[in-house]
A and B are shown apart, each in its own frame.
Chain A
Amino acid sequence: MTGRSELRIKLAANAQEAQPVRHALGAFLSAIGIEGVRREDILTAAGEALVNAIEHAYDGRPADTDEIEIFARQEDGTGLVIDVSDRGRFIELAERPGRGLGLRIARAIAQTVSIDTENGTTVRMIFTT
C-alpha cells in the first residue's frame, strides 16, 4: 500500500455521463477530507473540463467509439491534481458565440490550469488543499 489516494474513471463522450462522474469525484473528495465550498468548487472546475471534452473534443464523431478519462490524485507538495483527457481536438470555447465560460470558471477556481494538446487534449488542474 502506497498511501496515495487516487481516482481514475473512463467514460464515453456522452452528456449523460457528466453527472455520475461528478458524483463519483465528489465521493472521492469527501473520502480524502475535502468538503464544503472547496469541494463544490473543485467539482465545478472538474465539471467544466468534462463539459469541454464531451461537448467539443469529439465534434461530429460517434461518442461511443471515444473515451474520456478523469484522473484525480493527491500529490505531496502539490495538492490535488485532476487531469481530464480525451483523444479529440481542443477547441477554444471562445470561438463559439455565448461560450468560453467553462475555462474561465475553471481558471477562477484552480490554482493552475494547463492544456496539453499533444496526442489529444489533457486539461490539468491543480488545487491547493
Chain B
Amino acid sequence: MTSRSIEVIHLAGELDIARRSEISAALQVNGSEAGILVDCCKVTYADSTALAELLRFRNDAKNRQVPIAVLTGSTQFVRVIQYAGLNGVFEIFEHRAPALTYLSNAGKLP
C-alpha cells in the first residue's frame, strides 16, 4: 500500500497577471495527494488572475477528490476573495495546525 501525504505549496509576494504562468505551474494536483495545503502566508497582494488560477486548481483537486486548504496571512488576500464572491468556495485558515487537521480529516490518510 502506498502511503499518501499532505503536500504543501508555497506562494509568496505579489500574485498578479505577470506571474500567472508561475502560479499556474505551482498549482497542480496529480491525484495521489492526501491533501494539499496552499500556504499563502507570504502573499502580500493577489489579483483576479491569481484567484482564477486558485479556482481552477480547486476544481481540479475537487475532481480528483483531493481536499485543499488555503493558509492566509495578508488580509488583502482574504478580502479579495470576499470581494470576488468566493466566500465558502475555499477552505481558508489563518493558522497551520487547524488547516492540517482539516486536511487529515478530509483526506485519504488511513
Contact surface of A with B, Cβ cutoff 8 Å:
15-16, 18-19, 22, 37, 40-41, 43-44, 47-48, 51, 54-55, 98-99, 101-102, 104-105, 108-109
A102, B17: Cα distance in complex, Å = 11
Does residue B14 face the partner (Cβ distance < 8 Å to A)? yes
Residue contact A40 to B76, C-beta cutoff 8 Å:
yes
Residue contact B52 to A104, C-beta cutoff 8 Å:
no
The dominant DSSP class at the B interface is: helix
Q: Which B residue's beta carbon lies closest to that of A47?
A: B47
Given A19-B14, A37-B75: A51 and B47 within 8 A (CB)? yes
Contact surface of B with A, Cβ cutoff 8 Å:
14, 16-18, 20, 45, 47-49, 51-52, 55-56, 75-76, 79-80, 82-86
A102 neighbours in B (Cβ, 8 Å): 47-48
B83 neighbours in A (Cβ, 8 Å): 44, 104-105, 108-109
Residue contact A101 to B75, C-beta cutoff 8 Å:
no
A51, B19: Cα distance in complex, Å = 12
Residue contact B16 to A101, C-beta cutoff 8 Å:
no
Q: Enumerate the 6 nearest inter-chain pairs by beta-carbon distance, A residue then B residue, closest first.
A: A108-B83, A101-B48, A102-B48, A15-B18, A105-B83, A15-B17
Given A102-B47, A104-B85, A105-B84: A41 and B79 within 8 A (CB)? yes
Cβ of B53 to closest chain A Cβ, rounded Å:
9
